[in-house]
Structure 1
Amino acid sequence: MSEEKTVSNVKPFKNLGAGVVGLAILLVVIGAIVAIAANLRLRFDLTEQRLFTLSKGSKQLLGKLENDVTLKLFFSDSARDMPMGLKTYARQVRDLLREYEVAGKGRIRLEQYDPKPDSDAEEWAQRYGIEPQQANPFGAPVYFGLVAVCGDHEAAIPGFSPRLEQSLEYDITRLVARVAWPEKPVVGVLSSMPVLGTPQNPMLMMQRRQQQDRGWAALRELRADYTLREIAPDVESIDADVKTLVVVHPKSLSEKTLLALDQFVLRGGRLVALVDPFSLVDLRTTMEQNPMAMQMGGGAEPSTLGPLFDAWGVGFDTTKVVADLAAATKLNDGRGGVEENPAFLSLGPDNLSRADLLTSPLSQVMLPFAGALEARKTEGVVFTPLITTSEADACLVDAATLQMGFDGLKHQLVPDGVKRVLAARLQGTFKTAFPNGIADDGTNAVPDRLKSGEGAVVVFADADFLHDSFCVQMVNTFFGQIPQPINENLTLFGGAVEQLAGHTETIGIRSRGKFNRPFTKVDELEVAAMKQWQAEEDRLEAALRDTENRLAELQRQKKGSERLILSKEQQEEIARFRQTQAQTRRQLKDVRKNLYRDIESLGLRLKVINIALVPCAVACFGLVRGIRRKRR
């Protein structure tokens, strides 16, 4: 009996020991899995715009690195005054920098520093140019910036801001390229407007009566990667070290200057041309300089490259502006209301060429009062559209009527079913526009003129889209006042210059996607309503003109003092018009009500889908699973 009791007492201890050993083995296995998984970067980006994945262009550029690049992230992680929003954004920046480290395949090394007060890390942050900011007036300064170091070359992003998340990847990749390939190409800038800023008057600056004009933000962005050289509008030759030339609103260029541009392209120079049939920026500048210009017959002057376009097979009518009902922009009408202006174009993915690397990553571009480019058959030059209007809703309107506002072009909004080209790429063998020279060329500094040559040109039929008013807004952040893009105009222009003068890989770096999504269906409803509204309004105005003509005819039939009294026929005519006017206004109200009803109906359907569909799907799944288990 005693042996049986001993055996029975040992079994529980054996079972307990086996359980402990099994649990220990399980914990070891789980720990091994966690350790292995921590070193594996298995990520799945399920967002439509690939918000958490490096662009192809970034990966290609990192793959070409010949020297090691160290990325030093300075972030005041331990600062109690660091705003929570910046801490969250810092995690996103860290995740993206780790993607660079992986894609660099050993060429990119990430270092992180917490610059605490009076520490070596803070001293290095200040030495590199990372800007300290006071999150709390009574606290220590905080830092959030990035430094790239490659050999003896270094460059920095002084401060990150969540408001510039859209350009984060582009900024980091450009930072890497800046230190890996430090030589800056020379880019010439020729313009009839002060795009690079205006010279400062020292006396006014000392008296603080004149603020510094740093030029347009789009050109300021280029200074980080290129050496910008201002080219006078009356230049007669382009310097040999200028490989790329940006021409903005070239109005009234002389033949000698046009010849200089002609020879620049034929010698292999790359040209980015921004011409404009109606420059709102130029009009504003003219009015500021001479308020009486409009009354004296002046105003906005168009710009073109004239004979060069003719030689290159490009048609450009400086008297016409493109209108597109499908790309109308909502603007302040000056009376406290909002109106949709179809000549102020807000263009989306459908308007941007998906086949070209320059425009395929873009989704939102704004072109105010752009012209139309036309491809004419020219041997040797390939004309590739980059930006186009819709086909069903576009037309041309007179540029002169735009000075009268939106009312001046209403009657011209008749879509003609033609898709207009707003920007294009020209590539191939160009022929000179001056085969016989020019009338007076004695001082032109081109000893042996070229007759033809290989070249590349990107033409935009608008110049205003590059002005700060139409592409950025200045915002105040913890790291100072910085320009925040309101669309992708800067990316478009920067990509064009990169493609012709810089690293072509950076063109493939799309701007980071946006979390807010456009309501395309609502936009389609608004376009249809606008067409119907325009038709009803045109009918009302036609009836008004017809009534006025009949009233005038009845008035002419009167004699003497009868003209001062309304006849019975005139009274009846006025009554009929008022009745027509009231009916038309009711119809216009019905159009607006139907639009709102359709939008509300669409919103209701979306709410039902978002709120009810998922619970219903889960409930159905539970019922099906329960029935199957019951059958088993």
Structure 2
Amino acid sequence: MGERRPELNNKSAQTAIFGSTLLLVAVFALNILISTGLPGLRLDLTQDKLYSLSDGVSPLLRALDEPVRLDFYYSKKSAENLPNFRTYGQRVQEFLEEMVQASNGKLSLRVLDPEPFSEAEDLARAAQLSRIQIDGAGRELTLGLVAVNSVDEQSVIPYLDPTQERFLEYEVMRSVISIGRLGRPTVGLVTSLEMAPSLDQQTMQMKPGWQILSQVEQLFDVVPIAESDTALPDGLDLLWIVHPRSISAELAVAIDAYVLQEKPLLLCLDPWCEADAQAAEPAFGMQGPQPTSSQFDTFLGAWGLNWTRGYFVADRDLALRVQATTSRGVEVMDFIAWWNAQSENLNGDDPITKGLTTLNLATTGAFSIEEDAPTRLIPVVRSSENSQRMLTAQLGFQIDPGTLIQNFESSGEYQTVAARFTGPIKSAYPPVKTEAAVDPALEELLDSSSEVPTGVANILVLGDVDFLSDNNWIREERLGSISLGYRTFADNGSFMLNAMETMAGDPVLAGLRGRGEYTRPFDRVEALRQAAESEYLAEQERLETEIQETERRLGQLQQAQAGSQATLLLSPEQEAEVDQLQDKIIAARKQLRLVQLNLRRNIEQLGTNLMLFNTIVWPLVVASVSGLIFLMRRKVL
């Protein structure tokens, strides 16, 4: 037996070599097969399928009415030494290529590098794409997209922000659909506010419109309807009413008839509309414009929908932090009238709020129905249990957040501030039989029944209009005079667009907003950074407090000396104070530098440990296990 062991070992070695060679050939063959025969085959193993198109995108692209060309402007050479931009640029290009492949010929792609003095640079400038200076030598970087249809209509994304990657699919799809579909849903807008761009009568300059309206107009045909109009236009797919104040009687009748037919209504009311600070009664004896309350009581009463007009929802747990001027000076404190709804306050089963994480609300109202009501009120957004309905009379020009907190008494109940309202409702403006019938259809309905006309509600109600205002969810990013586009810091805009798309548009788009996070940070590194940052900020705050106290003391000494006719020279006491202050500043700065140094060292050490673990420890583990298996097999043989 001992003489045959070498022969067996040689056969085993030959078998292993043959198997490894065969496996290597199979891998190469599979790669060639996939790259040539199946170029679109991909395997996405990420947690949220971040690198795959969402369900419904491919059918939506194939259903476009006309072809769309995507011009992707990417300064590839400028991004070579900028890892974030280089990685994201490659990611965007791969994503666009995947969209083109899924469109069945409806999309095409051009990748253009707008190098200096090139034709691509001229095209990028003509499209008003953002240009970012990346060094003092004048080098610029462009990362933007222009969608063009067959009649040269354009939809431009000036800047594809790497920090907004979770919205990439939605932003691109919105641009494509806005110019690739011939027929768009029609939205009728009734509002007392100036949401569209308008002329400022004082400065005689154009005021920018609300961004929410601008974004809605990219996907819908918006028809403005004045409150003084006498009828609704034909062919509306959705009626959008924002802060109604003085709707004419004729228009109210038309709205009533529209709602009774189960047509979709998006209703935005506000008990204290800060965006409409005009022509209101002075509060607390103070003169000047005051926020106003929406006027829609006749409809709500007929429908059996209770609304807290005159009351706003205060939330102690979700309150936003604001800077407030108090008797003690400027302080940062909770303002319970403004609050931030988190994912747990949103209905995760509703397509309107699915995938959203944060909404900013300001002096919002609440809705409810009676327990025995035939209608249904399905909450979409609600407060925490630590909330209360408070009188809007407590609000004024100089609102003291501290006073609101002192007057706060938790109700221990959730408050519904946005909801779907469905079910049977009665007419708010039943027709009155007269000799001359105004509306033949309503006259016929009245003749056939002595009862008040009824219908079925298909309504989404929101108790906050300031929710739509730019300062609550979006801001323009600028680099000097160059606009980099707009960056969202809350999901308010996505909420409204989702609502419109689920009620009158294509619900597929609603599911594209707010996909999973692409960034996978090192948790321990992030924890170290946060801990050091907290220590740094605490040290900075201590330093600022010392400076303020010393300056206050200096002011007292100077005040005492100012009473004399002597020149205001520093006294020995003041000089001592100044010296002490300078010593404190120097010492504190040293401490701050030490904190930053320790932070950098800790992170570098952790990075080194991770590198050693991945390059040395893991290979040793794999080699040891392989060697152990080899020895065990040899022993068996």
TM-score by length of 1: 0.68
Distance 1:222 1:232 in 2: 18
Residue 373 to residue 379, structure 1, CA distance change in 2 (3 Å): closer
Distance 1:375 1:622 in 2: 65
Residue 311 to residue 291, structure 1, CA distance change in 2 (3 Å): closer
Point out where structure 1 has 5 or more consecutive residues left out of the alignment.
Answer: 1-19, 523-606
Query: Contact (CA 8 Å) 2:159, 2:484: kept in 1 or not?
Result: no
Decide which moves more: 226-235 or 340-349: 226-235
Shift of 1:418: 1.6
> What does residue 410 of structure 1 align with?
405
Distance 1:517 1:328 in 2: 29
SS at match of 2:347: coil
Distance 1:23 1:52 in 2: 32
Q: After TM superposition, list the pairs within 5 Å mapping 1:72-471 onto structure 2.
A: 72-78=71-77, 85-104=84-103, 107-116=106-115, 121=120, 129=127, 131=129, 133=131, 135=133, 143-152=142-151, 154-162=153-161, 163-199=163-199, 209-283=203-277, 285=278, 295-296=286-287, 299-334=290-325, 335-376=329-370, 381-391=375-385, 393-403=386-396, 404-437=399-432, 446-449=439-442, 451-471=453-473
Aligned-pair identity (%): 24
1:130-181 CA distances to partner (integer Å, 9 max, x unpaired)?
6373747976876433333554464332422315434322111112222331
Shift of 1:216: 0.9
Decide which moves more: 66-75 or 334-343: 66-75
Decide which moves more: 486-495 or 150-159: 150-159
Decide which moves more: 350-359 or 76-85: 76-85
Aligned residues: 510
SS at match of 2:395: helix
Distance 2:311 2:260 in 1: 29
**Residue from 485, 497, 500 that aligns with 1:497:** 500
Distance 1:510 1:480 in 2: 23
Task: Specify the code of the residue in structure 1 equivalent to 2:380.
Answer: L
Distance 1:63 1:380 in 2: 43
1:68-122 CA distances to partner (integer Å, 9 max, x unpaired)?
5443323233458996654333222113223323443554443323344565555
Task: Specify the code of the residue in structure 1 equivalent to 2:394.
Answer: T
1:25-68 CA distances to partner (integer Å, 9 max, x unpaired)?
88765543443455464333434x55444333534523645665
> What does residue 70 of structure 2 align with?
71
TM-score by length of 2: 0.68
Query: Contact (CA 8 Å) 1:145, 1:156: kept in 2 or not?
Result: no
SS at match of 1:273: strand
Residue 298 to residue 194, structure 1, CA distance change in 2 (3 Å): closer
Task: Specify the code of the residue in structure 1 equivalent to 2:308.
Answer: D
Task: Specify the code of the residue in structure 2 equivalent to 1:90.
Answer: G
Point out where structure 2 has 5 or more consecutive residues left out of the alignment.
Answer: 1-16, 446-452, 528-602, 633-637
Residue 464 to residue 506, structure 1, CA distance change in 2 (3 Å): same
Distance 2:130 2:410 in 1: 55
Query: Contact (CA 8 Å) 1:293, 1:299: kept in 2 or not?
Result: no
Residue 411 to residue 80, structure 1, CA distance change in 2 (3 Å): closer
Decide which moves more: 84-93 or 317-326: 84-93
Task: Specify the code of the residue in structure 1 equivalent to 2:356.
Answer: L
Distance 2:107 2:262 in 1: 35
1:195-222 CA distances to partner (integer Å, 9 max, x unpaired)?
1133355xx8xxxx44321211111112
SS at match of 1:469: helix
Query: Contact (CA 8 Å) 1:314, 1:374: kept in 2 or not?
Result: yes
Decide which moves more: 446-455 or 400-409: 446-455
User: Over aligned residues, Cα RMSD in angstroms?
Assistant: 4.5
Query: Contact (CA 8 Å) 2:314, 2:387: kept in 1 or not?
Result: yes
Shift of 1:372: 0.8
Distance 2:62 2:148 in 1: 17
Q: After TM superposition, list the pairs within 5 Å mapping 1:546-557 onto structure 2.
A: none
Query: Contact (CA 8 Å) 1:322, 1:369: kept in 2 or not?
Result: yes
1:230-279 CA distances to partner (integer Å, 9 max, x unpaired)?
22223332112433222211134454443332123234543211111122
Shift of 1:381: 4.1
Residue 337 to residue 446, structure 1, CA distance change in 2 (3 Å): farther
SS at match of 2:429: coil
The reply on whether 1:486 has 2:489 as its aligned counterpart is yes
Residue 414 to residue 368, structure 1, CA distance change in 2 (3 Å): same
Query: Contact (CA 8 Å) 1:349, 1:363: kept in 2 or not?
Result: yes
1:1-22 CA distances to partner (integer Å, 9 max, x unpaired)?
xxxxxxxxxxxxxxxxxxx999
